[in-house]
Structure formats: structure tokens, C-alpha cells
Structure 1
């Protein structure tokens, strides 16, 4: 009888110890992955950085490589080409964790968030319903809807207007919140204009048809942000570079002298910021380029 009571008592001790260990482990995981900041209101979506951004830990190399390889091997329609994926991954290998701004949402959205583990990844997209759809599938996604007022077919007129206003509203270093340049996106959450972005990817909005918004405004805004917000430099990547709008606007605002690598569909520019950014010209050879056209 005493033996049975002793065994029963030991079982209760083991159960209690197991429960205590599980509770302690759960508390440890919760506090390390989702730290709380009592000084910020949960309703302040622009001021509060995601927990992964505050944690600031780089993704381990084997996990990084596996994610890139699986993404490249995927047969999903609409995915980015293998060479483009590896080019962007090389930038993250060098700069992550970092402050990463993406124009567009798509197949690679979960990959970009994962490769920039420990950094802050922000997405901008023109379709608020698609944002809501992805927010349900990807908890913690930081994405904002924006309105584009341009059409891809307007690109020649917009380029001409930007050249006329290059020392005014369309200058390369400015506060976009107060810009009247037709290219400028000035309705983003205000806090985003003050962030010194390390990497910017232009993979949106839609630009495949003449009636699509086109990426003139996204490329111009990326070029100004890269030059204006911080000391730089900023890696700016433009997808679908083989298309006319993406190529012409990149040459106009990101400049061939800043082109460091490219595939058929992706161009990689390294844009100087701070004291290295010129305030009156986007490109050093802009006068020569215009005279030749």
C-alpha cells in the first residue's frame, strides 16, 4: 500500500514538473519571437515595427539556401525566373536583415519576407482586396494599398513633364509628401518616407497593357526615396526590365551609371544617397542622353 502511494505521489510530481517545463518553454518562445513594446499602442500600425524587425536576427545560411532553391525549382505559373531569384537573393545575402520596400505582391511575397528575416519588409500594392486575401494567409504581413493615377501609355508625356520639372517638383532629392510631380507617389503612410531603405524592389503595379497603371511612378518614387531618406547607398531592383516602360524609366531615373548587374528581366542599380546624391540631375549624363534623342 505504501509502495502504491509512493508511486502515485511520484507520478504527480513528474506530471507537475512536465507541465511546468512546458509552460516555461512556451513563455520563452513567445517572448523571444514576439516581444512586446509597452510604449506603443497596438492600434498604431505605422509606428509599430513587426516583431521580426525588432528581433533583428539573420536567417541561417542553410535555411536561406533551401528557400531560394525550392523557390527556383517551383513550377508555379507567374513565378520569377531562376536567374532573377538568385540575383535578388545575392543582395539579401549581403544586406539582410535590412529595411526592404517592395512595390507589388505576388508568388514571391513569402520568400522575400523569409530571406529578410530579422529585418523589416513592407509591401505596396494597388489592390486592397488582394492585400486582405494575403493578410489572411500570411499573418504579420505589412502591406498598404496605394492608388496609381497613371497609365502605361502616358509614359512619353510623363517623361517629358519630369524633365521640365527636374529642378522643381520632379527633382531627385525632395520630400515626396509635398511633391506635385505627376510621377510622385505622395499618399503612402507618412512614416514610410522617413525610412532609409536599404533595398527597394519594383515588381508592381501592373504594366503589361497600355491601360495598366505602369511602373513609372514606382520607379520614380524608388529613385527619389533612395537619394533622399538616408546616407545610402540603396539597392534598387526593377523586374520586367525587358519591357519598354521599365527600361526607359530606369534609364531616366535610376541611370545606367548606377547599373551593377542585370539579367534579361531584372536590373540591379546601386543608388548613392546622402552626400553622394546629386540634387539637380538624376543621371550624370542626362544632358547627353536628351541631346541624342
Structure 2
């Protein structure tokens, strides 16, 4: 008798619970739909207020100098990079002088004059190439004059000459870069400049670094890297081009 009297009550409780669950689900679904609609409206408004900008044009052409260098590096078994010991030479100086101004002659190109190296050495013996001054007004054939003004106006504490390319006879070589690095170093108001030349195992870099940066200023050589310390020539009148 007790179970029969409680059965209708239990059924009503279950039905009432299901009704509340259904009601909560409807309320939750309505709130979610409203939130999504508001977000969509906000996104549409934002898109209308901030239309998408056209994508910038992309450069699809590779400079010939870079293309030639890439072809060389991917087809050779020897990658002409500095060894850890060679890097350590400039790293020690950089750590000692930092913060400082460090100029690097990296990947680039000069006029194709490697096969004129002997003639340029002879021209470097002329008086115009031994005049200490701004490379922009130098009358020496070896001076590089096409850089932005801030390159010439800065007093460089370190200069690394590791380019342009010089691995074949038609490559530009580093004669102009070596000479200009030496001229910049001598032309600073005071102090001294550490100049590094890489790949001195090659005839051009060997000959030009000794001639224009001077063996008397050579302080260290590690592998294919030479380290020169060149003082200012503006502070001492009558100082010779090489000691």
C-alpha cells in the first residue's frame, strides 16, 4: 500500500526535474546564440571600420652578386668561413672595447679588378695614395667613395675586411676595402683602430694587407686572419704611412 501511494509522487518529481533541465538548456542555448551573434556583429563592424590592406609587393629578383656567391657556396666543398680560433681574435678585441663602432666589409662587390692587382699596387705607391684624409676626397684610385656619409663620418674602433669575393680571378677581391680600411683608421682624430683581414692565404689579401695596413702594425695572425692595430696619423705630424 505504501509503495503504491508513493509511485505517483516520484513520477511527478522526475517529470518536474526533466522540465527544469529542459528549461535551463533553452536558456543556455539562447544566451550562447545571442553572444555569438553579438561577436559576429562586432567582427563585421571591425572589418568595416578597418578594411584589409593590400599585401606589400614581394621582391622576386636576386642581385647578381648574391646569386653568384650562392652558386659558389653550394658547389664548393670548402666553405670560406672563419674558424673558431680566427673568430676568437676579433671577439677578444670586441669584448675589450665594447661598446664600440664595428665596421664590417661583408657580402658585396667592387669593380672587377682582381686581374689588375699588380697595377693597383703600383698606383698605391704614388703620393696620392699616401695622403691621409677622407676617402671621399682622396685622389687615390683605391679609395672607396660610394658609401653613405655616416660611414665616413664615424670613427670606427674595429674594421673587419671579409669581402668582397676573391676566390677566382674575375671576382672583385678586397684591394679597395683593405686600402679604405687603412685610410679610415689613419684619418681618425685620435686613438687607434683594430683592423682584421680574412683569407690572407690568398695572394691578393696577403700582398695588399701587408702593403697598405703595414707589417709594422701587424700584431697577430691566427690561421687565415690577420690583426693590425693602426694609430691615428692626424695627431702626429710627419708620421710615415707605414712605421
Indicate whether the TM-score tops 0.5.
yes
How far does residue 207 in structure 1 lie from its aligned partner after superposition? 0.7
How far does residue 162 in structure 1 lie from its aligned partner after superposition? 1.3
Matching of residues 157-172 of structure 1 within 5 Å: 157-164=119-126, 167-168=127-128, 170-172=129-131
Q: Which residue of 2 aligns with 1:240?
A: 199
Q: Which residue of 1 aligns with 2:163?
A: 204
Greater alpha carbon shift after TM alignment, 211-220 vs 78-87: 78-87
TM-score, normalised to structure 1's length? Answer: 0.53
Name structure 1 gaps, 5 residues minimum: 1-75, 106-124, 127-147, 285-293
Per-residue deviation, residues 33-75 of structure 1 (Å, max 9, x unmatched): xxxxxxxxxxxxxxxxxxxxxxxxxxxxxxxxxxxxxxxxxxx
Distance 1:213 1:237 in 2: 19
Matching of residues 82-231 of structure 1 within 5 Å: 82-105=84-107, 125-126=108-109, 148-164=110-126, 167-168=127-128, 170-231=129-190
How far does residue 188 in structure 1 lie from its aligned partner after superposition? 0.6
Q: 1:225 to 1:200 in 2, by over 3 A?
A: same
Q: May I ask how many residue pairs the two structures share in their alignment?
A: 166
How far does residue 198 in structure 1 lie from its aligned partner after superposition? 0.2
Q: 1:283 to 1:241 in 2, by over 3 A?
A: same
Distance 2:241 2:183 in 1: 9
How far does residue 280 in structure 1 lie from its aligned partner after superposition? 7.2
Distance 1:259 1:228 in 2: 18
**Structure of greater relative contact order (alpha carbons < 8 Å, 6+ residues apart):** 2
Task: Find the structure with the greater CA-based Rg.
Answer: 2
Per-residue deviation, residues 175-232 of structure 1 (Å, max 9, x unmatched): 2112232211011101211211000000000011111101000000000000003312
Distance 2:112 2:139 in 1: 14
Q: Which residue of 2 aligns with 1:112?
A: none
Distance 2:172 2:230 in 1: 25
How far does residue 172 in structure 1 lie from its aligned partner after superposition? 4.3
Name structure 2 gaps, 5 residues minimum: 1-77
Asked whether the equivalents of residues 189 and 235 of structure 2 are also in contact (C-alpha less than 8 Å), the reply is: no
TM-score, normalised to structure 2's length? Answer: 0.64
Q: Which residue of 2 aligns with 1:79?
A: 81
Q: Which residue of 2 aligns with 1:273?
A: 232
Q: What's the Cα RMSD here?
A: 1.9
Q: 1:225 to 1:279 in 2, by over 3 A?
A: farther
Q: 1:238 to 1:273 in 2, by over 3 A?
A: same
Distance 1:162 1:277 in 2: 22
